[in-house]
Every structure is written in C-alpha cells, then in structure tokens.
C-alpha cells in the first residue's frame, strides 16, 4: 500500500468515526476482518456455550453465520462498531415493578439502525463504489466480541461490554463495509479479580466468569420464555423485575462512577415505566399493552407474558438494588 493510499484510508477512518459521533454514538471504533486471535477465542467460547445448552430457547444463537462475519456480506473488509449510551440518571418509584433500562425509551433497534444507515449513506458519498450493511443485535453477528475487537470496551464477567468511562449501559450497533479502514486497538479487560456480578445474581445464572446460562437468567425468562408459567426457582427470585433484569450491571463497580446521563430524546424513559404498579399490569388487556408499548423494544414481551411476570413478581423484594 502506498503512503498516499494509507493516508487516505486513515483520513476516511477518522472522518467515519466522527460522522458516527455526530449521530450520538460514543464510543465508536473500527476493526478489520477476520479479526485478532482474541476474536477466535470468543468464537470458540460461543461453541462451548452452545454445547452446554446455555442458550436455552434462543435457537437463533446457533446460526452458522454468527461464527464468521464475512458470511454476512460479500467482500466485507472492515467493521464500524458503535455504542449508544442509554443511562438516564433517574430511578423508579419505591415499591414499583422494574423494567430493564434498555427498554425505557424508544426501541433501540430502530434508533441504532436509522442512525447507522445515515452513517452508511455518508460513507457511500465518500466512496461511491463501496457497499455496507447495518447490523443491530438481531443480526447473526458476534456483536459484543466485535465491539471489543474495535476497542469500544471489554466483555465483562456478566457478558456485557464495559467502557471505562461510560460503564456498561450501552446498546451496540455495527456497520459492515467493503471499504478497507484503519483498525483500532482491541480493548483489554479491566475486571481483574472482581466478581460482584457473579455474587449478586439471585439465580446463579453467571456460572463462571463470562458464561451466562440463559436457563437461569431472569432477563431471558421475562422476555423470551413463552411458557405459560415461569419455572418455580425463577419465580421465587424474580423480585420486582417484570421485563429484563439489571442486577449484574447495577452492582458493577464501573457503573458506580459518575456516568454521563443521556439527554437523547429518543432514550428518555416513559413516565409510566417509572411508576409501574403490579395491579395495573395484572389488568392489562391487549389494547392497553399496544398503546403503552408502541415503538418500544418491550413489545417482544406479549400481554399475557407481562401478566405472567407480574403475577410472580414481588415489588417490595430485597433484590431491589436501586
């Protein structure tokens, strides 16, 4: 590669990351396929996780393309990884039901996808012959591993990506492209000997560092479990959680720092989510569910599932860590 070509590559890489920041993404980073040796280790870890049936009912986690990002788009050379901070410095009212913070605002799939598509269109203006594809977490991409590869943060023992200044309260998105871009340094783990998340999980879902068994996870059961009733051990540990669970992130020391509170209009919590009564959810009909959850990622939880979860919940439980 000539010096001039390399300089053009570096300039475009810098400008692309800046364009992503203009869409509200922070952190941002770039990686080159096929990735470093660490990415190979993460892929091998996925295989072990699947072999142990830790995916529970999430059969889509076994999609072959998840193991190889090059299968997602012909000619892909690089990947832009972005994080969108959804932490808002507020809390639910005491004695109320709880919803994981990622679901407080507008459906993050739509928010991230729309913004990354604008970044992609900008890239097309700079390089008309390049191609690109947007991936949010519904795409078969090893998204956390690629975020780590691009330097956004490291994968914590609770399996969430942690940024040293922004903690783990962020959703991820990726832009795959055929353009050759300058890769950033992969992030290095700073968890050390800490195991606060492991100790705090009420169902021992974090079986060992970096390994979460969905069969034991409150978030999995409240969002993905389609059975008419929750397993007894899950119901007993549910506490106030009816949609996801943030316990492992709440206790993480990296989230105990003074974190930036998002002022993004699309990520602000709906007031009713911070004042959610058990009796209200138990009486939800389909129309109430549709009205409240229009444009929300929480629509994945169907009306009868909300009622099932609320029935098992105990809003005044000591598992309330806020």
The reported pLDDT for the residue numbered 5 is 79
Q: Residues of the chain with pLDDT > 70: what percent?
A: 98
pLDDT band per the 50, 70, 90 thresholds, residue 320? very low
Which helix or strand (DSSP H or E) is residue 79 part of?
Answer: strand 78-85
Which pairs with CB-CB distance under 8 Å and at least 24 residues apart come from 39-44? 39/142, 39/145, 39/146, 39/149, 42/142, 42/144, 42/145, 42/148, 42/155, 43/67, 43/142, 43/145
Over residues 45-98, the pLDDT tens digits come to 999 999 999 999 999 999 998 999 999 999 999 999 999 999 999 999 999 999
Lowest-confidence segment of 17-26, 118-127, 135-144 by average pLDDT: 135-144
Is residue 181 classed exposed, middle or buried when 0-12, 13-18 and 19+ CB atoms within 10 A define those classes? buried
Judge whether residue 4 has pLDDT over 70. Answer: yes
Q: How many angstroms separate the CA atoms of 97 and 134, rounded?
A: 34
Q: How many angstroms separate the CA atoms of 172 and 27, rounded?
A: 10
The two structure tokens encoding residue 321: 């860590």
Average pLDDT over residues 131-143: 94
Judge whether residue 193 has pLDDT over 90. Answer: yes
pLDDT band per the 50, 70, 90 thresholds, residue 138? confident
Average pLDDT over residues 124-148: 95
pLDDT band per the 50, 70, 90 thresholds, residue 322? very low
Per-domain boundaries in the chain = 3-177, 196-261+269-312
What contacts 152, CB < 8 A, 6 or more positions away? Answer: 27, 28, 29, 81, 82, 83, 161, 163, 172, 187
Average pLDDT over residues 196-219: 97
The reported pLDDT for the residue numbered 1 is 65
pTM metric for this prediction: 0.94
Mean pLDDT across the chain: 95
The reported pLDDT for the residue numbered 315 is 85
Judge whether residue 284 has pLDDT over 60. Answer: yes
Lowest-confidence segment of 134-138, 152-156, 310-314 by average pLDDT: 134-138
Q: How many angstroms separate the CA atoms of 262 and 90, rounded?
A: 11
What contacts 165, CB < 8 A, 6 or more positions away? Answer: 257, 259, 260
The reported pLDDT for the residue numbered 233 is 96
Average pLDDT over residues 293-316: 95
The reported pLDDT for the residue numbered 321 is 40
Judge whether residue 216 has pLDDT over 70. Answer: yes
**Pair 37, 143: CB distance under 8 Å:** no
pLDDT band per the 50, 70, 90 thresholds, residue 6? confident
Catalytic residues: 137
Judge whether residue 301 has pLDDT over 50. Answer: yes
Over residues 243-281, the pLDDT tens digits come to 999 999 999 999 999 999 999 999 999 999 999 999 999
pLDDT band per the 50, 70, 90 thresholds, residue 316? confident
pLDDT band per the 50, 70, 90 thresholds, residue 210? very high
Q: How many angstroms separate the CA atoms of 31 and 174, rounded?
A: 10
């Amino acid at each position: 590669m000539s010096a001039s070509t390399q300089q053009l590559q570096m300039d475009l890489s810098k400008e692309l990351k800046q364009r992503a920041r203009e869409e509200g993404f922070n952190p941002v980073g770039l990686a080159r396929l096929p990735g470093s040796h660490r990415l190979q280790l993460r892929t091998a870890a996925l295989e072990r996780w699947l072999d142990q049936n830790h995916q529970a009912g999430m059969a889509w986690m076994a999609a072959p393309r998840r193991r190889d990002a090059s299968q997602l788009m012909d000619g892909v050379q690089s990947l832009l990884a972005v994080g969108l901070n959804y932490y808002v410095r507020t809390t639910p009212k005491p004695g109320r039901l709880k919803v994981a913070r990622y679901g407080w605002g507008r459906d993050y799939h739509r928010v991230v996808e729309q913004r990354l598509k604008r970044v992609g269109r900008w890239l097309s203006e700079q390089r008309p012959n390049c191609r690109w594809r947007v991936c949010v977490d519904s795409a078969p991409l090893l998204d956390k591993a690629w975020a780590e590869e691009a330097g956004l943060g490291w994968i914590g023992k609770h399996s969430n990506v942690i940024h040293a200044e922004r903690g783990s309260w962020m959703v991820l998105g990726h832009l795959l492209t055929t353009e050759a871009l300058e890769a950033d340094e992969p992030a290095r783990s700073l968890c050390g000997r800490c195991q606060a998340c492991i100790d705090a999980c009420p169902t021992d879902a974090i079986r060992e560092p970096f390994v979460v068994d969905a069969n034991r996870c409150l978030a999995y059961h409240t969002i993905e479990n389609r059975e008419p009733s929750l397993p007894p051990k899950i119901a007993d540990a549910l506490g106030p959680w009816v949609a996801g669970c943030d316990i492992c992130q709440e206790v993480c020391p990296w989230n105990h720092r003074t974190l930036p509170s998002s002022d993004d209009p699309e990520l602000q919590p709906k007031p009713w989510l911070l004042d959610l009564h058990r009796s209200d959810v138990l009486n939800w009909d389909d129309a109430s569910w549709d009205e409240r959850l229009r444009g929300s990622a929480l629509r994945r939880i169907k009306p009868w599932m909300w009622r099932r979860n609320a029935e098992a919940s105990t809003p005044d439980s000591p598992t309330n860590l806020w």
